[in-house]
Chains A and B, each alone.
Chain A
Amino acid sequence: MPKKDADVIVIGGGIIGTSIAYQLSKRGKKALIIEREDLCTGTSGSCDAYITPHTKKPGFHLGLCLESMKLYKELEEELGDDLEYWQKGGFQPCEDELSFQLVSENAKDLMAGGLEVKMMNIDEFRSYEPNMSPNLVGALHCPSACQINPFKVVMSYARNLKKLGSQIMTNTEVTDLLWEDGKVVGVQTDKGEFYADYVVNATGCWGAQIARMAGLEAPIEPRRGQIIVTEPTSTVIKTTMQSGMYLVIKFHPEKITDERTKRLGSGFCIEQTGDGTILIGFTREFMGYDKSTTLEGIEYIISEGCKYLPGLRDMHVIRTFSGFRPFVADGLPLIGPVDGIPGFIMAAGHEGDGVALSPITGKLVAEMIVEGQPSYNIDAFSPNRFVKQA
Chain B
Amino acid sequence: MAETNKDVLICRCQEVTLAMIEEAIAEGAFSVDGIKKRTRAGMGLCQGKSCERLVEKIIAEKTGQAPADILPATSRPPVRPIKMGTIEGERNA
Q: Name the one of B45, B77, B83, B91 contacting A293, with C-beta atoms under 8 angstroms.
A: B77
Q: Give the residues in chain B near A45, CB-CB below 8 Å.
A: 33, 37
Q: Judge whether A168 and B28 touch: CB under 8 Å.
A: yes
Shortest CB distance A160–B (Å): 12
Residues on A with C-beta less than 8 A from B92 are 303
Do A38 and B28 touch across chains, with their CB atoms under 8 A apart? Answer: yes
Grouping DSSP codes into helix (H, G, I), strand (E, B) and loop, the A interface class, with mixed when no group exceeds half, is mixed
Docked pose: A230 CA to B45 CA in angstroms:
9
With an 8 Å Cβ cutoff, the count of chain B residues facing the other chain is 27
Q: Which of A158, A291, A316, A320 has the most CB of B within 10 A?
A: A316
* Contact status A231-B45, CB under 8 Å: yes
In the complex, chain B residues 7-39 whose Cβ is within 8 Å of any chain A Cβ: 14, 27-31, 33-34, 37-38
Contact with B along A298-315 (1 / 0, CB 8 A): 110011011000001111
Chain B, 42-93, CB within 8 A of any chain A CB: 43, 45, 47, 74, 76-78, 81-85, 87-88, 90-92
Q: Complex Cα distance A29/B16, Å?
A: 36
Q: Are B29 and A298 in contact (CB-based, < 8 A)?
A: no
Shortest beta-carbon distance from B61 to chain A in Å: 19
Given contacts A232-B45, A303-B92, A319-B76, contact A38 B31 (CB under 8 A): yes
| A41 to chain B: closest residue by CB | B33
Determine which of A158, A230, A299, A305 lies in contact with B27 in the assembled complex, contact meaning CB atoms within 8 Å. A158
A321 touching B76, Cβ below 8 Å: yes
Q: Which of A84-113 contact B (CB under 8 A)?
A: none
Inter-subunit contact A318/B78 (CB<8 Å): yes
Whether A313 pairs with B38 at a CB distance below 8 angstroms is: no
Q: Tell which of B43, B81, B91 touches A299, judged by Cβ atoms closer than 8 Å.
A: B91
Residue of B30, B45, B74 near A170 (CB, 8 A) is B30
- A residues lining the B interface (CB < 8 Å): 38-41, 45, 151, 155, 158-159, 168, 170-171, 230-232, 275, 291-293, 295, 298-299, 302-303, 305-306, 312-322
Interface residues of B (CB under 8 A from A): 14, 27-31, 33-34, 37-38, 43, 45, 47, 74, 76-78, 81-85, 87-88, 90-92
